[in-house]
Amino acid sequence: MPIVKYPRATEPLWHEWDRKAQKCGLRHTVYAVNGDHYTGEWLDNLKHGKGTQVWKRSGAIYSGDWKFGKRDGYGSYSILDPITKEYKKVYTGWWKNDKKCGYGVTFYPSGERYDGEWSDGLRSGWGRMYYRDGSIYEGHWLEDRPGGQGMLRLPNENRYEGGWKDGKKHGPGKFFYLDKGQLFEGTWAADIPKCGILIDFGRVEAPAPTQYPIPKV
């Protein structure tokens, strides 16, 4: 009866080397196969504690707290500007389970900035958003969009104060037309005023008041 020999399953050498070099505590820079590298603390072969991770492909860098291999705690994330070759800060704040969570500040490529609370990587809670056109929204956020009570101030100083839903004006609210000296108070639905009252408000001080005041009822 012929004897059949099966090739013995071989394990990559790096598996053995990795077992012999289980990382725990503060270590020098450790390089991954793809060129990424990490300098900092370890626990049971996982990034844990304070450390800095650099991603070779994107040029991004994270410096801060780690917990069992994930960004968790306080840290800063930056990307490399391809033109100036300098690092530009993208986010500084709190993390949980590798996502933005808690208070933090995000800088967007367009020049916009968000300063406020996060949950599971999305803007959620209280926050202030500085838009590119000069508008500023300050209030509550839900799933990365204004939701709840908030105020939007436009570049011409006109502003809306009231309810929001899915990033749009929704519910009772007030719109101050400070350029004309008028105030609209009523109910909104999906950014559209449905019903309300329009009255003169600071008409004398307004830079561009209407020709005639609104007659009193």
Three-state DSSP class for residue 132: coil
Look up the CATH number of domain 15-98: 2.20.110
User: Radius of gyration over alpha carbons of the chain, in Å?
Assistant: 27
Residue 202 burial (CB count, 10 A): 14
Q: Are 110 and 132 in contact (CB under 8 A)?
A: yes
pTM: 0.82
What residue segments make up the domains of the chain, in order of their start?
A: 15-98, 108-216
Tens digit of each residue's pLDDT (9 = 90 or more) over 65-105: 999 999 999 999 999 888 888 899 999 999 999 999 999 99
Q: Strand pairing partners for 105?
A: 92, 115
Top-level CATH class of 108-216? Answer: mainly beta
User: How far, in Å, CA of 53 to CA of 38, rounded?
Assistant: 4
In this chain, the answer to whether the domains covering 15-98 and 108-216 adopt an identical fold is yes
Tens digit of each residue's pLDDT (9 = 90 or more) over 120-178: 999 999 999 999 999 999 999 999 999 999 999 999 999 999 999 999 999 999 999 99
User: How far, in Å, CA of 124 to CA of 136, rounded?
Assistant: 17
Token couple for 96: 């949980």
